[in-house]
Amino acid sequence: MLSELERESRTVRRHETLVDEGEPNRLFVLDSGWVYTFIHTPDGRRQILDLHFPGDIVGTNQIAFAESTCGIAAATDGVICPFPKSGLRGVFSKSSKLTALFYTFAMIDHAAVLDRLRATGRMPAALRVLLVLLQCRARLRIMEPSYADAFELPLQQDVIGDMIGLSNISVSNALKQLKEDGLVARQGRWISFPSEERAMTLIDFADHYYEIDTSWFPGPQGAGGEQRIKAL
């Protein structure tokens, strides 16, 4: 059922806007590359709402609305596989277990947003940036466990800043400070955490991908493989 969604595909370029705010909704599977959703403020600034990674279905948290409440843009070059809204109807009507899975994905994404809200509202610049880095790693290592040690971060600093209410300059300063504090190491675009434990406790980081409970899922018990369900 799900693999049928990936029938057609197209490439996207870094910085390309895929969907504008207020346009009709669109759904797609992200095959490769990183993508983000955003809204603009009345004075023209930008807030990034969510990051999406290869394997994600993008747009599911917009299907309840007639028009898209946010825009979508590509952070890197990539490939997307668009599919129609009706493609989801099959999922919701035919498999209640798959529906619960989608619901779970939505809640995990929601939890990530809540963590960023907390950071944006109540934490200093360096810790906000640290949160974004740890969130990226948490998501990436689901697909590729070796990313736990070090991963490539293709985001520009103004993109990071727009996720957590900072300017690109403050992101630069925060990274410098994180390096001096021994919390983050950078080699080119590769990120690692020399004092992983300290970094996580410093911001009370919780990896929501590893706290999933499926006991409430409908149907027979023991779905199995919950840890990697995002992989689809």
Would you call 111 helix, strand, or coil by DSSP? helix
Residue 62 binds which one of its own copies, DNA, none, with CB within 5 to 8 A depending on kind? its own copies
Binding of residue 169 to its own copies (CB under 8 A): no
Q: Which residues pair with 51 in a beta bridge?
A: 36
The token pair that represents 123 in the structure block: 């934490």
Contact map string, positions 178 to 197, toward DNA, x by CB under 7 A: ----------xx--------
48 and 37 Cβ atoms separated by less than 8 Å: yes
The token pair that represents 103 in the structure block: 């619901």
Closest CA to 18 of 2, 42, 34: 34
d(CA 110, CA 125): 22
Binding of residue 165 to DNA (CB under 7 A): yes
The token pair that represents 228 in the structure block: 């990697």
Binding of residue 176 to DNA (CB under 7 A): yes
The token pair that represents 189 in the structure block: 């675009």
Site residues (CB under 8 A) for its own copies, limited to 106-125: 106-108, 110-111, 113-114, 116-118, 120-123
Shortest gap between Cβ of 161 and DNA (angstroms)? 6
Binding of residue 40 to DNA (CB under 7 A): no
The total number of residues shown for the chain amounts to: 232
Binding of residue 175 to DNA (CB under 7 A): yes
Site residues (CB under 8 A) for its own copies, limited to 125-164: 162, 164
CB-based burial label for 200 (10 Å; 0-12, 13-18, 19+): middle
Binding of residue 228 to its own copies (CB under 8 A): no
Among the candidate windows 56-64, 95-103, 132-140, 159-167, which touches DNA by CB under 7 A?
159-167
Closest CA to 228 of 145, 162, 151, 154: 145
Site residues (CB under 8 A) for its own copies, limited to 186-205: 201-204
Shortest gap between Cβ of 156 and DNA (angstroms)? 4
Q: Which residues pair with 126 in a beta bridge?
A: none
d(CA 129, CA 160): 7
What number of chain residues touch its own copies (CB under 8 A)? 60
Q: Which residues bind its own copies (CB under 8 A)?
A: 39-42, 45-47, 49, 61-67, 69-70, 85-86, 88-89, 92-93, 96, 99-100, 102-104, 106-108, 110-111, 113-114, 116-118, 120-123, 162, 164-165, 201-204, 206, 208, 211-213, 215-219
